[in-house]
Structure 1
């Protein structure tokens, strides 16, 4: 079954499919959150927020998933959890002032971040296979020396130049897309 089957089931509230989504995906999300300073309750909250966010976006925008639904859901959960961790870092503790973060504002940020990632992945598909390979190694923090070993390049200087050119090509494609301005940070 493709990802759109699950999207439609979420919007319809199909309890059998939602249960299947939980059975298949929750353990992985819980493991990720437990390994990253969270607890089971955090994992449940993030998983529920992610499902709600996906359903709302699909109902509103009719999103289409190019990857597996499981991968898409995990990415949304990861992004929500990272944003949650970052918001805790930036809060100053003061017992007299209680900061309340709007749920709608938080969801809007999550949606924008997800759309940014989708734009990035879409543009990554438009660059050459060689650039995809080089950038995937670079983004995975593989050293230039290791990249030389796995490719036909002969020196770190050549690899650096190739990474620079590929990043520039990817950046240019992203900036040329009509969605770019609406997804920029204000």
Structure 2
């Protein structure tokens, strides 16, 4: 219900709810950006772009969020910031040239990233509960020793093998979906 409520508020440009979204989610986004070579202004820009891109996407098509809204927004912001870091890394600095950023291109890339994330989450949900748990811990960058402590496996080697098999199964599910080829081709 939370995701639908927030999406409707963004679509209606409900400033009081958008303020609540900001209060609930901005700190985590800011921490991520600060920890990844950014500053407070960068975090504000990314947060605003994310909300704008969600609004644009809602105008193009209605969609649902299967996870929490805060997690969805965090993912959108994280993808935007990583793309910005890649642009900065590849940018040649020349004070006499003004670079124009294509908002349409930026929005299109964000849309594709969201679609890829949705496909990933859907296919992750199709795995066994054991695989989902192991992969969630792995993707959260939890060390194998800590995963061992929270599971009933006998060794880190067994966990490594399990992660490998679960990642392989997830990859097969994703690549077997017709949407994968469409998303990959773009």
Cα shift readout 1:70-100 (whole Å, capped 9, x = no counterpart) = 2221221121112111110111223455443
Paired position in structure 2 for 1:70 = 70
TM-score, length of structure 1 as denominator length: 0.86
1:117 positional shift: 1.3
Paired position in structure 2 for 1:135 = 135
- Are residues 27 and 149 of structure 1, via their aligned partners in 2, closer, same or farther at CA, if it must alter by over 3 Å? closer
Cα shift readout 1:94-122 (whole Å, capped 9, x = no counterpart) = 34554433121112111111221121111
- Are residues 155 and 40 of structure 1, via their aligned partners in 2, closer, same or farther at CA, if it must alter by over 3 Å? closer
1:93 aligns to 2:84 (yes or no) = no
**CA–CA distance in structure 2, aligned partners of residues 176 and 157 of structure 1:** 28
**CA–CA distance in structure 2, aligned partners of residues 40 and 79 of structure 1:** 17
- Are residues 21 and 148 of structure 1, via their aligned partners in 2, closer, same or farther at CA, if it must alter by over 3 Å? closer
RMSD (CA atoms): 2.2
1:161 aligns to 2:161 (yes or no) = yes
SS of 1:37's partner is coil
- Are residues 162 and 40 of structure 1, via their aligned partners in 2, closer, same or farther at CA, if it must alter by over 3 Å? closer
Q: Provide the aligned length of Structure 1 versus Structure 2.
A: 186
1:51 positional shift: 0.7
1:140 positional shift: 3.0
**CA–CA distance in structure 2, aligned partners of residues 31 and 144 of structure 1:** 25
More displaced, 12-21 or 127-136?
A: 12-21
TM-score, length of structure 2 as denominator length: 0.86
**CA–CA distance in structure 2, aligned partners of residues 72 and 59 of structure 1:** 18
1:158 positional shift: 3.0
Structure 1 residues 1-186: aligned runs within 5 Å: 1-95=1-95, 97-184=97-184, 186=186
**CA–CA distance in structure 2, aligned partners of residues 121 and 33 of structure 1:** 23
